[in-house]
């Protein structure tokens, strides 16, 4: 679970850097807020998908198919 958090943080940083580089012409506060929000959303999506994946694996191992 710790490595999943680590990957999510890295992806969030990458997304924030990407948005900041793409929108550096815009006003700075907007860019900072937007990049932070995008990083948090990316991390949340990764965490949610990883949680669903792990839950499905556990459920499929418990249920005899």
State the pLDDT at residue 42.
Answer: 80
Per the structure, the complete domain to which residue 11 belongs is given by 2-62
pLDDT digits (tens, 9 = 90+) for 11-21: 767 766 666 55
Structural contact between residues 30 and 65, judged by C-beta atoms closer than 8 angstroms: no
In the block, residue with structure tokens 């994946």: 53
Structural contact between residues 43 and 12, judged by C-beta atoms closer than 8 angstroms: yes
Structural contact between residues 2 and 26, judged by C-beta atoms closer than 8 angstroms: no
How many domains does one find in the chain?
1
DSSP3 helix / strand / coil % (the chain, rounded to 5): 85, 0, 15
Q: Is the pTM of this model over 0.75?
A: no
pLDDT digits (tens, 9 = 90+) for 38-60: 777 887 788 888 888 888 888 88
């Amino acid at each position: 679970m710790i490595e999943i958090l680590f990957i999510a943080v890295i992806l969030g940083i990458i997304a924030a850097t990407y948005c900041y580089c793409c929108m550096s012409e815009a006003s700075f506060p907007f860019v900072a807020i937007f990049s932070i929000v995008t990083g948090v959303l990316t991390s949340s999506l990764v965490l949610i998908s990883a949680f669903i994946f792990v839950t499905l694996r556990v459920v499929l191992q418990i249920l005899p198919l």
